Structure 1
Amino acid sequence: MAVVAEHLVEERVVLLVAAVDAAADLALVVRRVLGLRHRLDLGEHLGSRAATRGKAAGDGESVGVGVQAHDGSLSFRWRPSGGPHTARRGEQTHLGTLDRATPFRMTRVDIHALVRRVPGWEQQHIDLAPLHGGITNTNFVATVDGQRAVVRVPGERTELLGIDRANEAEAAIRAAQLGIGPAVLGKLPDIGTLITALVPGRHLEPTPFTGRLPEVVELLRTFHDSGPLQGGFPIHRVVEWHARDASSYGVVPPTSYGRLHQQSRRIEAAFAAAPLPTVPCHNDLLPGNLLFEHDGDRVWLLDFEYAGMNDRFFDLGNLSVNCGLDTAGDQQLLRLYFGEVTPSRWARLQLMKMMSEFREGMWAVVQQAISTLDTDFVSYADERLGNCERLAARPQFEQWLVDAAAPAL
């Protein structure tokens, strides 16, 4: 999508937009151009066309869209890109008015000012460089008096993804104290910024990763055994919250959600038959969140945005599915963590691999509603939810539910 013209007419912003597939996409463009952080309330009229997505305007037809923001009415003209529109699942043009708009773009000058608020850095010379790879945040490397630190500026509405910045800070400080996470050098809780030491290391592909599995498991056990955290990440509620929040922002969950939610309830009931205490979990064990020293055995655990009290088997399943462990890898994982593989442990691991994919898919559904990134979260959600359904359709699933109801420790 591209904005081809922008001008002010009688104190009303008018945008001419090309290559926009639907009105909800238009709202995304408007927010990007105007720097709005809140959702826009699209009026329920699109010229002569219906207001729901999936009914595209005719070739070359211009469509008017009324948008109500907190500070007045904005009017737009939407011109379809030509050709039929392929609707994304469940998206609607009427999104609901929310908070007051605030700018979400930050310049380098803004970041400098932000970093200078860290105690002890007020008068220091600060060099900033972008650190690429973030999805929900904008990251920078700050060099201050020879020390290199990672400065993360939160993205917009990340709380809807299950992120609580206070919980994140507590978990990051805990990991640093345990020697498994980078040192926390500063935090600005009013805006959710966390500043941590930049630690050296590299990420591993799945094959060499399995060779370092003993160190990874030891790291997880250390975190799991470290005592309660204030925040929680109850996985069966998290997927429900994602469905609720996506719906409130105009994206109806895919039809697979209902089927998978029923399976989630069955998994929850099976685990409840022989409950385990919740433990501090990372809850986002992607390969990119594990950093391995170049010359040494040390492994760093990074990015505690989703950390909170949860079932330890979710971390294990999350690690397995995200890092591509096969059957032998799963067996090795359980032996390293527990000492031996039992039917209950095996079943719980497999069922939590399913819950990991369910949660990841629903996370992407929420991203469809709130993200300003040029990322195909629809395809990503379809992929992860599809994998979840394949796991649930395996012939062993029913036996896993039976086995999971037995004690695992």
Structure 2
Amino acid sequence: MTTVELNNKDNADRAPDHERPSLHFLRPSSDTLKVPTCNTVIDLGTLTHNDLIDKVYAMAQELFPSWANQKEDLSIHRISGALTNAVFFVDARGKRRLLRVYGVGVDQLVDREKELAWLARLGRLNLGPRLLAIFGNGRFEEYVDSVTLNHHDIRDPATSQQIAQCLARQHAIIQIYPQPSSDPTLEIWKNVDKWYGLVKQLLPTLKQQHPDWAPLLDIYNFDRLGGEIERSKRILSSVKSPVVFGHNDLQYGNILKRDDTGALVLVDFEYAGYNTRGYDLANHFIEWRYDYHGAQPAAMTEPFPTPDEQLRFIQSYIDTNDTNATSAEEIRMEMQVWLGATHVGWGLWGLIQASQSQIDFDYFYYSMERLDAFRDELAKWNLD
């Protein structure tokens, strides 16, 4: 659900190969993370802007020795709009890189080592910005001279088809990096099981910190939710939907449009991993319902894509991956079955964020609306 607004594109830099960082820091898993590393931690809660420049300059000297000769070479501009991270443009001597500082508590939600490994792989496949360096609580990424899509853009027919093509190419990565047979569990259920356990632990704290939330949390009945999750797993285990390498958070703020070619680039792979095709399609279509920069950013105020819009997207997906064995209508029906799983995952995620995030976003409303939507979807499958 992270969003990044890319603007102020002057003096952009795509870091040509010969200017990429030296490899003087290597992680043990160097086959996937051959990037410079340091242990610096940036505490945005205590640093002034000048302190931040000092900190970033010191890191730049360690990670990118030839980037900035002196502190005065460096300028930092914070980008508004991130829901789980703080994102900055860092410019030095005509070259720009993206600095991402992880949000407080987000590591409870994200497997950071796995995310970094996938970022490195996707960058090598030219399917996302390259990972340039990592530090104690963040990373540097390649800057892509681009603009971020908005909630209107994803409804544009031509743009929607471009998104489908990008998603199809990412899903096909499973042919290069197949799901390990030793770990067949889908990403959605790994997350739901972990997040459900965290939510159960956090409920007393949430009720104490926000007494006005307590009645709604009690009425929802999270003990009952555990059984409903297991029922949903049983239902979906019988649905045929191929496992792919999913983005799992494909909302408009995670899609860039390049200035030079107009091509789209998917970014923010915090939640990427092995899921079904139906899940990733369902997740993207639900994101049509949000305007994260509107008057009610936490609410599903926008219309769900119409059947024709869904079929147009899916047909472009099929044409890209040459999925001739399945019709667009069959994939559309497959997607609909996975809507509930999408809702319950993000609903639990939202409650965890509500307990700890300092970002101005109504995570509690967001969470309860998604969890209610999960029950609405589950009610359509009256199998018990």
Q: Could you tell me the TM-score, scaled by structure 1's length? A: 0.63
The counterpart of 1:375, out of the listed 339, 351, 361, is 361
Q: Is the 8 A contact 2:145 2:259 kept in 1?
A: no
The 3 A distance-change label for structure 1 pair 246 and 116 is farther
The counterpart of 2:199, out of the listed 232, 238, 246, is 246
Quick check: 1:331 aligned with 2:311? yes
1:225 Cα shift?
1.3
Classify the secondary structure of the residue corresponding to 1:134.
coil
The 3 A distance-change label for structure 1 pair 337 and 266 is farther
The counterpart of 2:87, out of the listed 118, 132, 139, is 139
Q: Is the 8 A contact 1:142 1:151 kept in 2?
A: yes
Q: Distance in 2 between matches of 1:347 and 1:263?
A: 21
Identity of aligned residues (%): 21
Higher helix share: 2
Q: Is the 8 A contact 1:246 1:369 kept in 2?
A: no
Q: How many residues align?
A: 295
Q: Distance in 1 between matches of 2:137 and 2:104?
A: 11
Q: Is the 8 A contact 2:278 2:336 kept in 1?
A: no
Q: Distance in 2 between matches of 1:282 and 1:112?
A: 33
Q: Is the 8 A contact 1:260 1:358 kept in 2?
A: no
1:187 Cα shift?
2.3
**Partner AA of 1:319 in structure 2:** H
Q: Distance in 2 between matches of 1:311 and 1:357?
A: 15
Q: Is the 8 A contact 2:144 2:258 kept in 1?
A: no
Classify the secondary structure of the residue corresponding to 1:153.
strand
- Structure 2 gaps, min length 5: 1-41, 208-216, 290-304, 319-323
1:211 Cα shift?
2.7
- 1:200 match: 146
Higher strand share: 1
Q: Give the stretch that moved more between structures: 243-252 or 346-355.
A: 243-252
1:277-296 aligned within 5 A: 278-293=243-258, 296=261
Which deviations, in whole Å up to 9, do the C-alpha atoms of 1:283-340 show, x marking residues without a partner?
1111100112357440010111111222222211111110242222222233233355
1:171-320 aligned within 5 A: 171-188=118-135, 190-206=136-152, 208-226=155-173, 227-228=176-177, 234-249=187-202, 250-251=205-206, 255=220, 257-258=222-223, 261-273=226-238, 278-293=243-258, 296-320=261-285
Q: Is the 8 A contact 2:236 2:338 kept in 1?
A: no
1:351 Cα shift?
2.3
Quick check: 1:164 aligned with 2:111? yes
Q: Distance in 2 between matches of 1:123 and 1:202?
A: 28
- 2:58 match: 113
Q: Distance in 2 between matches of 1:151 and 1:233?
A: 30
Classify the secondary structure of the residue corresponding to 2:96.
strand
Q: Is the 8 A contact 1:236 1:264 kept in 2?
A: no
Q: Is the 8 A contact 2:90 2:98 kept in 1?
A: yes
- 1:358 match: 344
**Partner AA of 2:353 in structure 1:** Q
1:272 Cα shift?
2.5
Q: Is the 8 A contact 1:289 1:301 kept in 2?
A: yes
Q: Is the 8 A contact 2:239 2:334 kept in 1?
A: no
Q: Is the 8 A contact 1:165 1:192 kept in 2?
A: no
Q: Is the 8 A contact 1:204 1:287 kept in 2?
A: yes
Q: Distance in 2 between matches of 1:164 and 1:237?
A: 11
Which deviations, in whole Å up to 9, do the C-alpha atoms of 1:149-176 show, x marking residues without a partner?
1100111221212x12222222222222
Greater relative contact order (Cα < 8 A, sep 6+): 2
Q: Could you tell me the TM-score, scaled by structure 2's length? A: 0.67
1:263 Cα shift?
4.3
**Partner AA of 1:196 in structure 2:** E
The 3 A distance-change label for structure 1 pair 191 and 260 is same
1:339-358 aligned within 5 A: 340-341=326-327, 345-358=331-344
Q: Distance in 2 between matches of 1:264 and 1:343?
A: 27
**Partner AA of 2:281 in structure 1:** L
1:264 Cα shift?
3.7
Q: Distance in 2 between matches of 1:205 and 1:374?
A: 19
CA RMSD of the aligned region, Å? 3.1
1:365 Cα shift?
0.4
- Structure 1 gaps, min length 5: 1-101, 402-409
Quick check: 1:390 aligned with 2:376? yes
Classify the secondary structure of the residue corresponding to 2:82.
coil
Q: Distance in 2 between matches of 1:385 and 1:196?
A: 36
Which deviations, in whole Å up to 9, do the C-alpha atoms of 1:70-129 show, x marking residues without a partner?
xxxxxxxxxxxxxxxxxxxxxxxxxxxxxxxx9662522333334443233575432211
1:46-125 aligned within 5 A: 105=45, 107=47, 108=52, 109-121=54-66, 123-124=68-69, 125=73
Larger Rg belongs to: 1
Q: Give the stretch that moved more between structures: 104-113 or 356-365.
A: 104-113
Q: Distance in 1 between matches of 2:62 and 2:111?
A: 21
Classify the secondary structure of the residue corresponding to 1:174.
helix
The 3 A distance-change label for structure 1 pair 261 and 364 is same
**Partner AA of 1:238 in structure 2:** N
Q: Distance in 1 between matches of 2:228 and 2:329?
A: 19
- 2:27 match: none
Q: Is the 8 A contact 1:267 1:351 kept in 2?
A: no
